[in-house]
Amino acid sequence: MKNFWNTLPKPFFALAPLADVTDCAFRELVAKYSKHGRGGGGPDVFWTEFVSADGLCSPAGRKKLLIDLAYTEAERPIVAQIFSSKPDNIKEAAKFIAELGFDGVDINMGCPDRSIEKQGAGAALMKDFKLAQEIIYAAKVGAGNIPVSIKTRIGYNKDILDEWIPTLLLTKPAAITVHARTRKEMSKVPARWEAVARAVKLRDEAESETLIIGNGDVKDLTEARARVEETGADGIMLGRAIFGNPWLFAPVLSFQHSQECWNDKKTRVTRVRELLKVLAEHTRLFEKKLGKVKNFSIMKKHYKAYVNGFDGAKELRMELMEAKNAGDAENIVKEFLKHRQT
């Protein structure tokens, strides 16, 4: 098996799969601003948004969903995440993903979206251990020479980690990402990092080679390293912290955009200009790659994250909410910078 997981540094840091966020445009931007390379910055592993395995099994669905599986070589190693409750469809989708050249396949067993759960997929799989195992085995058959991993939670309505993790380990996945909350908790409570430490212990007791990745509320690489020390996890996945911060995984650039630097009046003007330049670049990239297949309003959740913490941010954000395309956004930014100096 071609297993890239065995070549990663310890600890490693991954970019989470976030629906309508970590699309091919944003990942390309993250890769660009992490260009100093592994060890000097950049996610050690990229994930795609999750994609319906059922959809990939029909010609029309595959044609529509192919854009969600677009990636560049700068994003390697890159893992494609899929979801389904049908082992045969998972098998076929995993085979297709391997043919597309991905480095790995990940199965979503934690998404709390009700439309996904109604299909018996995502977090619903935590209520059917047997089916969950069947899906993993099917993915491994379809994936062939590339590794299969899982992203999940600590339970559905309650913490069932002590039963759930051993069940998954029996299938020998390459890695398990543990979002340290139950499905019921969503993101309404702080992540329970003691559960990640427990997952590591369960893995060690089983004498398994499966890697354990912790996930939940990590705001930067400094905190990520502290969580590794605290839990013994092999790696950490960062998600929401990437909003408005494509340089999250590049230590030098991330520091330059830290609150400490923003508080320095001498650097604030430069930081605002750089930030808004990246916002405009992101918007152009989104329109170029996804403008014909995705709604432009997706960019507006990024605007909310980019445009914060400086004079005039609220007014600029309100104007950007009215943008209809990349040209509009760029003109709004230019006008703002023309009249503002802080």
Domain spanning 4-247, CATH architecture: Alpha-Beta Barrel (3.20)
Residue span(s) of the chain under CATH 3.20.20.70 come to 4-247
Here the tokens at position 272 are 């605002």
What is the side-by-side strand order in the sheet with 211-215? 12-15, 235-238, 211-215, 175-182, 148-155, 104-109, 78-83, 46-52
- What distance in Å separates the CA atoms of residue 279 and residue 192, rounded to the nearest whole number? 33
* Ramachandran category for residue 133: left, alpha or beta (phi over 0 → left; psi -120 to 50 → alpha): alpha
pLDDT tens for each residue of 212-240: 999 999 999 999 999 999 999 999 999 99
Is the pLDDT at 185 greater than 70, yes or no? yes
| Residue 124 pLDDT class (50, 70, 90 cuts) | very high
3-state secondary structure of 46: strand
- 19 forms bridges with which residues in the sheet? none
- Looking at residue 41, its pLDDT comes to 64
- Looking at residue 35, its pLDDT comes to 63
pLDDT tens for each residue of 126-183: 999 999 999 999 999 999 999 999 999 999 999 999 999 999 999 999 999 999 999 9
What would you measure as the largest C-alpha separation in the chain, in angstroms? 62
Among 282, 318, 314, CA closest to 299 = 282
Enzyme catalytic residues = 111
Here the tokens at position 248 are 């999250």
Mean pLDDT value across the chain: 92
| Residue 36 pLDDT class (50, 70, 90 cuts) | very low
Is the pLDDT at 30 greater than 80, yes or no? yes
CA-to-CA dists, residue 109 to 123, 136, 148, 233, angstroms: 5, 10, 13, 19
pLDDT tens for each residue of 233-267: 999 999 999 998 898 998 655 444 555 555 556 56
- Looking at residue 153, its pLDDT comes to 97
Q: How far is CA 258 from the centre of its chain?
A: 21
Here the tokens at position 147 are 């590794």
